[in-house]
Amino acid sequence: MLSQDSKMPLHEKWSRGRVDYQDIAFARNHGLFSIDEQDALAEAVVAIPGLGGVGGQHLISLVRCGFRRFRLAEPDRFELVNVNRQAGASIDTLGRKKLDVMCEMARAINPFIETELFADGVTEGNLDAFLGGATMVVDGLDFFVFDMRRRMFMRAKEMGVPVITAGPLGFSTAMLVFSPRGMSFDEYFDIHDGLSQEECFLRFAMGLAPRAVHFRYVDRTRISLQRRKGPSSFIACQACAAMASMEAVRIVLGRPGLRSAPSYLQFDPYFGKLCVGRLAWGNRNPVQRAKLTVARTFLLARQGRIGHQEPAQRPRLPAPQGEQGGGVVSGEVFRYLVAAAVAAPSGDNVQPWRFSRNGDTLRVHMVAEADTSFFNIRQIATQISCGAAVENIVVAASELGLSADVRLPGAIGGDGLIAEVGLDRGASEADPLCEVIWERCTNRRLFKRKEISTGLVGRFAAEAERLGCRLHTVRGREDLKALGRLVFQADRIRTEHQGLHEHFAHMVRFTPQEAEQTRDGLPLKNLYGGFAGEQFLKLTRPWSAMRVANAIGAGRMVAMHSARGIVNSGAVCLLTAPGFGWADFVNGGRALERCWLKLTALGLAMQPMTAITLFRLRWDMEGEQAFSPRHGKMLKALWPEFDALFPAVDFSREGQVMLFRIGYARPIRYGTYRKPVEQFLM
**CATH number of 35's domain:** 3.40.50.720
pLDDT of residue 13: 72
652 vs 583, 617, 678, CA distance in Å? Answer: 17, 11, 42
pLDDT surpassing 70 at residue 440 = yes
Stretch (H or E) spanning 296: helix 286-296
Q: Checking DSSP bridges between strand 136-139 and strand 655-663, what pairing results, if any?
A: unpaired
Same domain membership, residue 511 and residue 553: yes
Evaluate whether residue 203 is within a structural domain.
yes
Same domain membership, residue 271 and residue 352: no
pLDDT surpassing 60 at residue 206 = yes
Evaluate whether residue 320 is within a structural domain.
no
How remote is the C-alpha of 493 from its chain's centroid? 38
Same domain membership, residue 629 and residue 490: yes
Q: Which residue type sits at 215? A: F
End position of a domain, from candidates 435, 460, 477: 435
* Model confidence pLDDT, tens digit, residues 128-146: 999 999 999 999 999 889 9
Same domain membership, residue 235 and residue 160: yes
| Number of structural domains found in the chain | 3
pLDDT surpassing 90 at residue 271 = yes
Question: For residues 593 and 340, what is the distance between their CA atoms, to the nearest angstrom?
Answer: 12
Average pLDDT value for residue range 199-215: 90
320 pLDDT tier (thresholds 50, 70, 90): low
Stretch (H or E) spanning 640: helix 629-645
Same domain membership, residue 271 and residue 382: no
Same domain membership, residue 608 and residue 632: yes
End position of a domain, from candidates 282, 301, 320: 301
Same domain membership, residue 159 and residue 43: yes
Please provide the DSSP assignment of 460-519 as one string: HHHHHHTTT-EEEEE-SHHHHHHHHHHHHHHHHHHHH-HHHHHHHHHHEE-SHHHHHHH-
pLDDT of residue 427: 67
pLDDT surpassing 60 at residue 115 = yes
Which range marks the domain in which residue 223 is found?
18-301
pLDDT of residue 374: 92
Closest Cα partner for 236 from 297, 282, 187, 175? Answer: 175
Question: For residues 579 and 506, what is the distance between their CA atoms, to the nearest angstrom?
Answer: 32
Same domain membership, residue 336 and residue 452: no
Same domain membership, residue 465 and residue 374: no
Evaluate whether residue 208 is within a structural domain.
yes
* Model confidence pLDDT, tens digit, residues 29-42: 999 999 999 999 99
| CATH number, domain containing residue 642 | 3.40.109.10
Evaluate whether residue 390 is within a structural domain.
yes
Average pLDDT value for residue range 234-261: 96
Residue 171, burial from CB neighbour count under 10 angstroms (0-12, 13-18, 19+): buried
pLDDT surpassing 90 at residue 90 = yes
Evaluate whether residue 557 is within a structural domain.
yes
Which of 307-311, 343-347, 408-412 comes out lowest in average pLDDT? 307-311
- Dihedral pair phi/psi, residue 563, rounded to 5°: -65, -40
Question: For residues 176 and 170, what is the distance between their CA atoms, to the nearest angstrom?
Answer: 17
Evaluate whether residue 2 is within a structural domain.
no
Ramachandran assignment for 282, one of left (phi > 0), alpha (psi -120 to 50 degrees), beta (any other): left
- Give the predicted TM-score (pTM) of the model: 0.86
Evaluate whether residue 335 is within a structural domain.
yes
pLDDT of residue 15: 72
7 pLDDT tier (thresholds 50, 70, 90): very low
14 pLDDT tier (thresholds 50, 70, 90): confident
End position of a domain, from candidates 404, 435, 466: 435
| Helical segments of 7-52, H only | 18-25, 35-43
CB 393 within 8 A of CB 341: yes
Same domain membership, residue 419 and residue 365: yes
Average pLDDT value for residue range 73-96: 94
Average pLDDT value for residue range 366-382: 95
Preceding omega of 256 cis (within 30 degrees of 0): no
Length of the chain: 682
Please provide the DSSP assignment of 146-207 as one string: HHHHHHHHHHHHHTT--EEEEEEETTEEEEEEE-TTS--HHHHHT--TT--HHHHHHHHHHH
Q: Checking DSSP bridges between strand 69-73 and strand 114-118, what pairing results, if any?
A: parallel
Same domain membership, residue 477 and residue 401: no
Closest Cα partner for 420 from 404, 398, 436, 402? Answer: 404
- 201-223 as b/e: b if 16+ CB within 10 A: bbbbbbbbbbbbbbeeebeeeeb
Residue 32, burial from CB neighbour count under 10 angstroms (0-12, 13-18, 19+): exposed
Question: For residues 266 and 274, what is the distance between their CA atoms, to the nearest angstrom?
Answer: 6
Closest Cα partner for 610 from 367, 345, 413? Answer: 345
DSSP label at residue 508: E
Stretch (H or E) spanning 278: strand 273-278
pLDDT of residue 294: 86
